[in-house]
Structure 1
Amino acid sequence: MAAPVKYDLLEAPGRYFDGRTAAARDVVVKFGDASLILMTHEDMPITHWSLAGLRDLGAGAGALSLTPDYESDERLVLDDPDMVAAIRQVCPALGLPRPVSRSRWRRAIVWAAAALGSVYVIVFHLAPALSDRMAALIPPEAEIAMGEEMATQFAMILSKGEPRFCAGGAGGRALATLTARLEGAADAHLPLTVRVLDHPMVNAFALPGGQIILFRGLLRNADSPEALAGVLAHEIGHVAARDPTRLTLRSAGTAGMIGLLLGDFTGATVTVALSEALLRSGYQREAEAAADDYAAKLLAAEGLPTAPLAGFFRKLKGEKGDGAPALSHLSSHPDLDGRAAEMRAADTIGDAPYEPALSDQDWVALRNICR
């Protein structure tokens, strides 16, 4: 590629950056046979750039910011209208897109790996650490409101429609009696709200704000009020440790944590998303083991045995195995055999007499609360 003869005498001032320093150098620019020549004002050549390789980095209308090729750090800025027009005419390939070189691919891979590493740190280290700290910062009234809204959405998701909480009558009074007995010895930071959901699943969940949901299937499958008291004590342990609030914050992500702290938790979209996340998620095994330990101590404080809960765990294991959804919270609980053994070992009552968790009449009423 050669410049037309008519440009042989064309010269123009320019500003040259050599790529090694940030300083600009005033130069004189002229055409050679197939090159652009950059010279000092004393006509001493500085460098020759091939016309075929020139590329425009973009300097706005009426100007050029040239480089000899995209791999070079050198740059020439021109704003002389005659020289700019001449170069545009002689070098139609000025605006070709930058090719993706191997070095750029390597840099892209390095940046992508760094980004993935950052995501890993945020998801598995930063978010859990933030959720632990921020759970204690949510005002009690805000946590209660959040838990109430999530309990409604949670029940709607499981019921696939309008949820039915069973309450009132003799069954409701029996539930209140059992809750009051355990709550009196508990150190939960919020008042407890325990409800029964008309659902056949053998399960129980704790939610933020002191909300605990027992399932009809759990009441029907528990062999005694002491076994049910053990399950309820376990969920109270999660409430006391703020596990549901931490799990909610972790599911919400960093941006969601800030919104929840500011009270942005009542929107249906947010609560549905978080409720679904809680259904899919589970506590760490350490949290589950801590809740079991809390339950054993709470039952002992109320003069209740832990052996019935151990028997209930073994019953569930025999019916459905360790992988069943019953009380497994998607496999986050320790195995049922191990839990049963630990609960039996923690029993402080043995064969000694004790005041039942509920009277026979109240127990029958509670088991039939959803009828």
Structure 2
Amino acid sequence: MTALTEYQRLEAAGLWRETPQSQRRDVIVSIGEATLILSDTSDRPLTHWSLPALVRANPGEFPALYHPDGDPGETLELAAEETDMITALEKLRTVIDKRRPHPGRLRLVLLAAMCLAIVLGGLFWLPSALRGHVVNVVPQVKREAIGAALAEEIARVSGPPCGENDGQVALDKLANRVATDDRPLTLRVVRQGVDGALLLPGRQVLLNRALIEDYEEPDVAAGYALAELLRADSHDPLADMLDTAGLGASFRLLTTGEVPEDALRAYAEHLVTRPRPQPETEALLDLFEEAQVRSSPYAYALDITGESVLTLIEADPFANAAPPPLLSDGDWLRLQSICGG
């Protein structure tokens, strides 16, 4: 280290004791390039102390007492009158300390960085990871219970599901007909509050009565149900609910098997008011073909002009050959009167 230039020629009188048993000697103290030089009164050097290893034993007290780091038995006393030298040594010690590595400070910085990483992980990774785990472990029976609870919340605005004139029996037949796998599908018709169709956890689909009463064939209602099932393939309804309800609801469902009532109510309101994107057309056509349902009636229900759904019309998998009927004429008539006409 190069000492500060202003202190290169600074000298002071001091008392040096080489060991605790030695007599104190008068010395002349001067500052060199990297050392503190102690000389006798004849200007003969007696010892050199490394400036980076200089330690003050009594900070703030006088006479100022210094010693080499690791050897407190060898001391140098500077009287309070030697203000310039004491000030210079304290400034040098401060400069040296700032340049010296501080492992403790580095450990503190690393610890703070680790804590920050943990907090950020909790904020951004934990909710997604917990939600994904909950979605994977919740059994079907619990999904159905959650779907039923949501349906009750939605019934506050939609009214209770319709079920008159054996209409629900016919609706169950339609559900069995359009389900493309072995998993059960439940269809319910509501009077209002649902725009088109709405899929709830547990594979329960709510259909607006207009899909039954305003059309001459069940293909429209079937198409809306299939579109909801396709949306569920890209984003699980239970995962969507937990995304909206937050981390607390995920934790509550995992630990107690229940979803807070306020979270259910808030999500029900969210469901009936938010717009839902139209499923990808090619995937939807594949699903119509698999379920043996015509896509053009559904397309015209979306857009009576057909302009925005032209692909669904032109690529109808059953445009030239009718698929097996979704319902018999009698079942379709019963279904159309499910809400009492």
What's the counterpart of residue 162 of structure 2?
A: 166
Closer/same/farther in 2, CA of residues 293 and 179 from structure 1, 3 Å limit: farther
| One-letter amino acid of the structure 2 residue matched with residue 310 of structure 1 | A
- Structure 2 residue 251 is matched with structure 1 residue 258: yes
| One-letter amino acid of the structure 2 residue matched with residue 272 of structure 1 | R
RMSD: 3.8
Alpha-carbon distance, 1:132 to partner? 5.0
Verify the 8 A CA contact 2:253 2:259 in the aligned structure 1.
no
Match of 2:181 among 168, 183, 186: 186
What's the counterpart of residue 316 of structure 2?
A: 347
Alpha-carbon distance, 1:348 to partner? 1.6
User: Alignment identity in percent?
Assistant: 26
CA offsets 1:96-155 (integer angstroms, 9 cap, x no match): xxxxxxxxxxxxxxxxxx99xx69x83xx8756764564223222222222211121122
Q: Greater CA deviation, 218-227 or 171-180?
A: 218-227
What's the counterpart of residue 200 of structure 2?
A: 207
SS in 2 for 1:304: coil
Alpha-carbon distance, 1:206 to partner? 0.4
TM-score when scaled to structure 2?
A: 0.59
Closer/same/farther in 2, CA of residues 228 and 252 from structure 1, 3 Å limit: same
Verify the 8 A CA contact 2:178 2:293 in the aligned structure 1.
no
SS in 2 for 1:262: helix
Q: How many pairs align?
A: 245
Verify the 8 A CA contact 2:130 2:251 in the aligned structure 1.
no
Verify the 8 A CA contact 1:237 1:295 in the aligned structure 2.
yes
- Structure 2 residue 225 is matched with structure 1 residue 225: no
Alpha-carbon distance, 1:221 to partner? 3.2
What's the counterpart of residue 153 of structure 2?
A: 153
Verify the 8 A CA contact 2:194 2:272 in the aligned structure 1.
no
Alpha-carbon distance, 1:175 to partner? 0.4
Q: Distance in 2 between matches of 1:182 and 1:165?
A: 20
Q: Distance in 1 between matches of 2:245 and 2:257?
A: 11
Match of 1:27 among 58, 69, 76: 58
Verify the 8 A CA contact 1:225 1:358 in the aligned structure 2.
yes
Verify the 8 A CA contact 1:150 1:272 in the aligned structure 2.
yes
Verify the 8 A CA contact 2:185 2:204 in the aligned structure 1.
yes
Verify the 8 A CA contact 2:252 2:260 in the aligned structure 1.
no
What's the counterpart of residue 364 of structure 1?
A: 333
Closer/same/farther in 2, CA of residues 29 and 246 from structure 1, 3 Å limit: same
- Structure 2 residue 286 is matched with structure 1 residue 304: no
Verify the 8 A CA contact 1:233 1:294 in the aligned structure 2.
no
SS in 2 for 1:194: strand
Alpha-carbon distance, 1:204 to partner? 0.9
Alpha-carbon distance, 1:358 to partner? 2.0
CA offsets 1:56-111 (integer angstroms, 9 cap, x no match): xxxxxxxxxxxxxxxxx9xxxxxxxxxxxxxxxxxxxxxxxxxxxxxxxxxxxxxx
Closer/same/farther in 2, CA of residues 201 and 138 from structure 1, 3 Å limit: closer
Verify the 8 A CA contact 2:165 2:337 in the aligned structure 1.
no
TM-score when scaled to structure 1?
A: 0.55
Q: Larger C-alpha radius of gyration, 1 or 2?
A: 2
Q: Distance in 2 between matches of 1:352 and 1:237?
A: 24
Closer/same/farther in 2, CA of residues 275 and 220 from structure 1, 3 Å limit: same
Verify the 8 A CA contact 2:174 2:222 in the aligned structure 1.
yes
Structure 2, unpaired ranges of 5+: 1-54, 67-76, 89-97, 99-115
Verify the 8 A CA contact 2:56 2:64 in the aligned structure 1.
no
Verify the 8 A CA contact 1:247 1:278 in the aligned structure 2.
no
| One-letter amino acid of the structure 2 residue matched with residue 360 of structure 1 | D
| One-letter amino acid of the structure 1 residue matched with residue 265 of structure 2 | V
- Structure 2 residue 279 is matched with structure 1 residue 289: yes
| Residues 296-335 of structure 1 aligned to structure 2 (within 5 Å) | 296-315=285-304
Q: Distance in 2 between matches of 1:219 and 1:352?
A: 24
What's the counterpart of residue 69 of structure 1?
A: none
Alpha-carbon distance, 1:266 to partner? 4.0
Structure 1, unpaired ranges of 5+: 1-23, 31-36, 49-72, 74-113, 319-335
SS in 2 for 1:269: helix
Q: Distance in 1 between matches of 2:212 and 2:229?
A: 17
What's the counterpart of residue 14 of structure 1?
A: none
Closer/same/farther in 2, CA of residues 350 and 138 from structure 1, 3 Å limit: same
What's the counterpart of residue 89 of structure 1?
A: none
Q: Distance in 2 between matches of 1:343 and 1:232?
A: 16
